Amino acid sequence: MEDIKLDSLEGVGPVTTRKLSDAGIHNMMDLIVRGPVEISNITGMEKETAEKIVTKARKYLADSGQLAKDFVSASDIYKRRQEIGKISTGTECLDTLLDGGVETQALTEVYGEFGCGKTQFCHTLCVMVQKSIEEGGLGGGVLYIDSENTFRPERIVSIAQANGMDPQRILDNIIVARAYNSAHQVLILEEAGTIIRESDIKLLVADSAVGLFRSEYLGRGTLSERQQKLNHFVHLLVRIAETYNCAAVATNQVMSSPDVFFGDPTKPIGGNVVAHTSTYRIYFKKSGKKRIARMVDSPHHPEEEVVFSIGEAGIIDPEDTKTKKTTKKPKAEPTDTAKDDAT
Ligand code: GTP
Ligand code: MG
């Protein structure tokens, strides 16, 4: 993607350029992603001035065909949607659920209790996205925001090998950013623009998107602040996905705890902020050794469930159960209980 410098904008001189670049805004795409309110907050410039600059940038990019215009015909939207890429999950079952794979220009949220496979799903996508378009990938790199220290290169190596790909090359195209606290996690994303452009990133992972916010903002008194910050983070994810035509995947944990007195047990921790922003939401559930994935709300997918497994090759199709002897009685499905502390 072309890197259009700020001083190509009429009325933006060296002083403003300097002020913006000190705040981590280096080109026009950054202006669009951050938006006028935030730009005014971080640079101290008047909100009106920031609005003017962002409007000019938007117009510049729209005129040069790099961004959708403000008023567009449905056929233009259709055209832009035709540019949506899909990352195959490498499994028939999840590709069916996702109607081909994880989409670009969208945020896909995966939620479920611990050990249900959210991180394994992310690792698998890190490899799959690097396949060519013909093979179900997007031929691009990954930016992986790891807030739980659960990114494991060894897993990437085994998933790459299982797919007959060169592990070294696959690892080279994954940039990992370890987030130490929620403010740091937000900062990483705010500054991601340059890396996304330079490294041809096609997949952005936030694993977990919500965990740090949850551990730092405890109690009901801090809830609105937490939701506001989380809201900002999640919206940034969506804007980046739309602006750079890349896929964003965020994970979110559902608590499995007995001390639940209210709320929907399968509601994710992020609560409504995440729900209303995600374009796709998938719920993962453990069922013995197998996993169940359900498409929860999507503008155009039917709500359905599929069964998958986890193995050396990452997320895999379930083995043929008919050939396997079952020694144990089938257990009743575990019930998930969640603390919906976001309501
Ligand atoms: P939290 O981050 O704790 O919320 O969980 P998660 O949903 O991210 O779970 P994760 O993706 O880490 O899944 C863990 C599951 O994957 C466990 O059941 C592991 O047994 C399984 N798993 C991880 N690595 C391998 C592997 O190399 N082979 C196999 N067969 N299973 C694995
Ligand atoms: Mg995890």
Residue closest via CA to ligand 1's atom 17 equals 115
pLDDT at 272: 61
Would you mind telling me the total number of residues written for the chain in this entry? 343
Alpha carbon dihedral 273, 276, 278, 283, in 10-degree steps, equals 90
Task: List all residues 6 or more positions away from 203 whose beta carbon is below 8 Å from its beta carbon.
Answer: 87, 102, 125, 126, 129, 138, 140, 141, 142, 143, 246, 247, 248, 249
pLDDT at 157: 98
Distance of CA 335 from the midpoint of ligand 1 (Å): 19
pLDDT at 75: 86
The β-bridge partners of 251 are 110
Q: Which of 127, 269, 310, 312 to mutate to test the pocket of ligand 1 (most atoms within 8 A of CB)?
A: 310
Cα 260 from chain centroid (whole Å): 28
Q: Which of 111, 120, 312 to mutate to test the pocket of ligand 1 (most atoms within 8 A of CB)?
A: 120
Q: Please check whether residue 66 is in contact with residue 3, taking contact to mean a CB–CB distance below 8 angstroms.
A: no
Distance of CA 65 from the midpoint of ligand 1 (Å): 43
H helix intervals, the chain: 14-22, 28-34, 36-43, 47-63, 74-82, 92-97, 118-128, 153-162, 167-172, 182-190, 192-198, 211-216, 223-243, 271-277
Distance of CA 117 from the midpoint of ligand 2 (Å): 7
Q: What number does the ligand 1 atom closest to the CA of 155 have? A: 27
Distance of CA 259 from the midpoint of ligand 2 (Å): 22
Q: Please check whether residue 76 is in contact with residue 69, taking contact to mean a CB–CB distance below 8 angstroms.
A: yes
Distance of CA 119 from the midpoint of ligand 1 (Å): 7
pLDDT at 323: 40
Q: Please check whether residue 28 is in contact with residue 9, taking contact to mean a CB–CB distance below 8 angstroms.
A: yes
Q: What number does the ligand 1 atom closest to the CA of 284 have? A: 7
How far is Cα 23 from Cα 43, in angstroms, rounded to an integer?
6
Name residues with Cβ closer than 5 Å to ligand 2, which is an ion: 118-119, 150
Distance of CA 128 from the midpoint of ligand 1 (Å): 18
Q: What number does the ligand 1 atom closest to the CA of 158 have? A: 27
Distance of CA 176 from the midpoint of ligand 2 (Å): 15
Q: What residues does ligand 1 touch, defined as CB less than 6 Å away?
A: 112, 114-120, 148, 150, 253, 310-312
CA distances from 170 to 68, 156, 160, 166, 201 (A): 32, 8, 7, 6, 13
pLDDT at 269: 62
Distance of CA 276 from the midpoint of ligand 1 (Å): 27
Query: What is the dihedral sign for C-alpha 121, 123, 126, 131?
Result: negative
Each residue's pLDDT tens digit in the chain (343 positions)?
A: 566 788 888 888 999 999 999 998 998 889 988 989 999 999 999 999 999 999 999 888 888 877 777 777 888 778 888 899 999 999 999 999 999 999 999 999 999 999 999 999 999 999 999 999 999 999 999 999 999 999 999 999 999 999 999 999 999 999 999 999 999 999 999 989 989 999 999 999 999 999 999 889 887 788 888 888 998 999 999 989 988 999 999 999 886 544 444 445 566 666 666 666 778 899 999 999 999 999 987 767 777 899 999 999 999 999 744 444 434 444 444 444 433 333 3
Query: How many CA atoms are closer than 13 Å to the CA of 91, on its beta-carbon side?
Result: 26
Amino acid, res. 277? T
Residue closest via CA to ligand 1's atom 15 equals 115
Q: What number does the ligand 1 atom closest to the CA of 116 have? A: 7
Ligand with minimal distance to 117 CA: 1
